[in-house]
Structure 1
Amino acid sequence: MDRDAFRRRWIEFEPFLESGRGGLTELEWVRAIAPRVTADDLERIEADWDLDRRVALLEPPASTIATLTALRELGLKVGVLSNTHALELRAWPRSPLAALVDDVALSHEIGVCKPEPRAYALILERLGVAPARAAYVGDGGSNELDGARAAGFGLVVLAEAAAAEHAPGDLPRLRKQADVSVAELTEVVALVAS
């Protein structure tokens, strides 16, 4: 199958997968659209996918751990709202990040994705925090910053590192969606402490 055609079909399918409405797992989808894929191919795909996500979760940047630790030391509740699918997060329970957050709302488990209002409402409800008293920090993917603003978050923060690395041309648009932008995640601590 042509790589570009595969990518286009994946982009169309992934939102259904992330919301738990896909009806197929990642590997079942690959098998369905690429019938000549072998069992060995599927095993390799799964292993590569797992390795990529496992490394990100098991070896997060020191700045992420430092930021979450500092927020907890301030007595703040911390939640994670992520558009993701099951295969991406198999390593979450073993991640050092898991112990540093109060709750996690994963789109494939909650049935809605950012920027849908229900996704934001659910994590706020789980944390027991009113939107106006909450800060939302994100890299801007999935139109999440506009979603957070519409959900009534008191502070919307763009964590610029991912966009700066992968889509620097998007930074001006993303900065307009946020109340403030930070180059380093650790800057969030001073923002919310004041």
Structure 2
Amino acid sequence: MTKKEFLKELRLSLKNEADKEEIINYYDELIDEATLNGEIESQFIDRLGPIDDIIKQMDKTPYKKRENKSVEVVKKTTSKVSRLLLETLIMSGYALLMVVSFSFIVGGGFQTVKSVSHMGNASTNEVMIYYIGEMIFTIGLCLMGIGLMWYANAAFRKSIRKIKTIANEEEK
């Protein structure tokens, strides 16, 4: 069912309800908010339940204090979507850290090889000392890259597990 169909059916079902327009606006905004948060409109409307049930629940509770299951659904869905988006963003940061780590490893490795090859052609001790210092620095870059890669990989895997946990959460 589309939002337009749902609101039309709700309008017809409310008949002479005093707060009819306020209720229609409430559900209109509720559906808009859910779709903005990544929900599929028709699936969200299905989860709100049959309009007859919504009307029955309204009859039992004064309008100002109404807390029907649609509000609960929006709260749970919004929370879940927000947590998934946040965790995905964090995971993207770890992926970027892995790329930077890889560049440290590759750059440091190539520079180390270059330093070793130039040491053989060094004409003076000062030049030899320069290449040894450069080699130590580039080996340090490689080791730092390996450490960052190890950390980013572990954190990335933890994020994947967390996303799976959030996605598989049962509605309570």
- Tell me whether the two structures share a fold, i.e. TM-score over 0.5: no
Give the TM-score normalised by the residue count of structure 1: 0.19
TM-score (ref. length: structure 2): 0.20
Structure richer in helix, relative to its length: 2
For the pair shown, which has the larger CA radius of gyration, 1 or 2? 2
